[in-house]
Amino acid sequence: MSDPTSDPTPRSFINALPFAHALGMVLEHVGEGRARISMDWDPRFVGDPTTGVIHGGAVSALMDTCGGAAVMSCPGALTTATIDLRIDYMRAATPGQRITAQAHCYHVTRNVAFVRATAHDADAEHPVAAATGAFTFTRKEDR
């Protein structure tokens, strides 16, 4: 099996991550420090049965994966792992609607990558969540 984190091509990145696959994530775009990943609403991912709203943890998993994909698309990236991730839940995602996350790796140092991300449902004008994170960053030339 190849190292999924050493192969930043879109399909291999998602398919090699069992949990991303379990949540039905689809990588829509990746390149130059940016990534877009989406997932369908699913009754199994609901956090509050009285509202049908998807659990924050599922949105967090989507944004974490998207952030990691954005980091891996930075020039020279070899491996990455999340150091910390903060998520602000701005509004409840509408039940039944697909959720799309967009992440931007806006700064990279020798060892650290900084990421900002947002997530939205069918209403792209009003995000459901925003995230900021720091990721580990190892470069190909360091090996």
Partner 1 sequence: MPPPEPVQEVKHRRDTALRRLVDAIPYAGFLGIGFQRHGDELTGVLPYDDMLIGNPVLPALHGGVIASFLEVTAIVELSWAMLWEELESGRLTLDTLTETPLRLPRTIDFTVDYLRTGLPRDGYARARVNRSGRRYASVHVEAWQDNRARLFAQATGHFLMPQRDHG
| Residue entry with tokens 């699913």 | 42
Task: Verify binding: residue 85, partner 1, rule CB under 8 A.
Answer: yes
Segment near partner 1 (CB under 8 A), from 27-35, 43-51, 104-112, 115-123? 43-51
Q: Quick one: CA torsion of 13, 15, 16, 17, rounded to 10 degrees?
A: 90
Classify burial at 83, counting beta carbons within 10 Å of its beta carbon; exposed 0-12, middle 13-18, buried 19 or more.
Answer: middle
Q: Nearer to partner 1 by C-beta: 49 or 75?
A: 49
Q: Nearer to partner 1 by C-beta: 23 or 27?
A: 23
Segment near partner 1 (CB under 8 A), from 30-38, 83-91, 103-111, 113-121? 83-91
Task: Verify binding: residue 44, partner 1, rule CB under 8 A.
Answer: yes
Handedness of CA 126, 21, 43, 58 (dihedral sign): negative
